[in-house]
Homo-oligomer: A and B are copies of this chain.
Amino acid sequence: MSEAEQREWSETRVRVRYAETDQAGVVYHSNFLIWFEVGRVELCRDHGFNYRDMESETETFLPVTEAHVKYRSPARYDDEIIVRTRVIHARTRSVHFAYEVLRASDGRLLAEGETRHIVMNKQGRTKSFPPKYAELMKGAKVSVDK
């Protein structure tokens, strides 16, 4: 990975909770989508905006329209997990994120995935990103899409 690309990823960490494991002794697979969401929120914070404020101040929501996860290796209880997130595309009315989930202790890739979102108002109609957030979201885009 080039240095330019590396700068584009936001990183955050979560510790695996007992509640997230299942009786197979590993993290239940739907929890990775929750960790992706943790990653998205921190990416937004890294780029100068708070997802909560966007929602409450501008009644703008980013519902997930598509999610795709490839599970590479199990996550286990009490593991420290790194969630790496980047914006693939930020358009006027949609945004597309990519994720990597790694085990902090040895850097092993546990999962990777993507989510697509549309921009919606409270009534469930598509809308455009509010201008301030459009700029910040585009600033978070990876170089190849600029």
| Contact surface of A with B, Cβ cutoff 8 Å | 15, 17-19, 21-26, 28-31, 33-34, 37-38, 41, 50-52, 61, 63-71, 74, 77-78, 124
Contacts and interface: CB of A to CB of B under 8 A. Distances in A.
Given A52-B78, A63-B74, A67-B67, A19 B28 contact: yes
A64 B68 contact: no
Given A29-B67, A68-B67, A71-B65, A22 B24 contact: no
Nearest to A28: B19
Contacts of A31: 30
A52 B77 contact: yes
A28 B18 contact: yes
A66 B74 CA distance: 13
Contacts of A74: 63, 124
A29 B64 contact: yes
B63 A37 contact: no
22 contacts: A17-B34, A18-B22, A18-B37, A19-B22, A19-B30, A21-B23, A22-B22, A23-B77, A24-B61, A29-B64, A29-B67, A30-B30, A30-B33, A41-B78, A51-B78, A63-B71, A63-B74, A66-B68, A66-B70, A66-B71, A67-B68, A68-B69
